[in-house]
Structure 1
Amino acid sequence: MPAAAAHNHDAYRPTSASSAGAPHLRPVTFHAPESVIYAQGDDARLLYRIQYGAVRVSRLLADGRRQIVAFYLTGETFGFEIGAVHGFYAEAMVNTGLTAVERCSAGTLPHELVEIALRAMIRAQEHLLVVGRQSALEKIAVFLLDLAKRQECEAVIDLPMSRADIGDYLGLTIETVSRTISKLRAAGIIRLHSARSLEIVRPERLRMMSV
């Protein structure tokens, strides 16, 4: 179970908005690997933009299992909630710098953030489609292609998440994730540079598996 979140938001002083309804930007804050950014039940008045690093968003199920619902990378924004409190945990996976953006006092999103909120909704729908795929190969192929697209890289991609994280995101065991990645490597489709970095050698083959 994630550790208790550090409630240090009040230590940040929001800058004055340039116009009515504009988001209140706060200084960049540092979060070490595995540190909790917010927990289930925490106040959801802030949104977060990743300046560097990576974040996972998850929920603890009734049986104690963890379900990861999203990974967020540099340049992406997370923390959207329908209600006034968070229904998920957000944790840094690597050294991460965040800029907090305060929502309007009425709880509505400023105009500048509406597009980002819609993008988050689309990503949630895409996650459901990935989890619903039949085979582990399909799931891993779609996952790697999505990471490459979001990192704007056709070849070498970073994997800030662990094999266990990938499994909890795709609905696979860590053994299945490792075995599937090994199959892709043996087939010459990917090349592992390290546990957290790989190269897509044959993207066309990976795309065929994802269809």
Structure 2
Amino acid sequence: MRSNMRGAGAADRLPIFRSRLQGEVLARLLLGPARELTMLDLAVMLRTDLASVVAEVDRLARAGLVALRRGASGRLVARDAASPLYEPLARLLALTFGPAAVLGEEFGRLPGVRELHLFGAWAAHYASPDGGPPGDVEVLVVGDVDRVAAYDAAQESAARLGLPVHPVVRAREAWEGDGDPFLREIRAGPLMRVGRY
């Protein structure tokens, strides 16, 4: 199944959330495998100050969207999967702060990108969001793109998402041709075009 997400950057949908930081905090906790993070972990991941993260997490905990507990390393925060808002909020976050939005922003800065596609588990999840969000993010970058720059964009995306990002870089001729069995496999599976190029 193919779907298309054109121009779906997080900033376009920001008014839905109180702040960009709120959306980023929720995305780290609700998207991907269940995990507990310290406030400092979140601040480092989001490249922001600890006080802002603590204030945002406290608001979210009061709203019943995240769960807090004390651990040996300080206060720990995790998603509250029992909340009736968890599933619909996770779907909304996938669209606004999830892999498609982040990859579109990070890879969209690279010269030479002609097409960008999510494939594999996340492409399937966007098409049918039943069950929890997957872990790894697989992205196909089509165009005349410097591989080092593509891997740098993948690392930036992984840092923002808190999920591993695996890029596959191919020239347009290879993507449009039929000679690469791996690309045939990607085309046969779930595929989601990201961004405008």
Instruction: Tell me the TM-score normalised to structure 1 length.
Output: 0.30
Structure with bigger strand share is 1
| More helix by percentage | 2
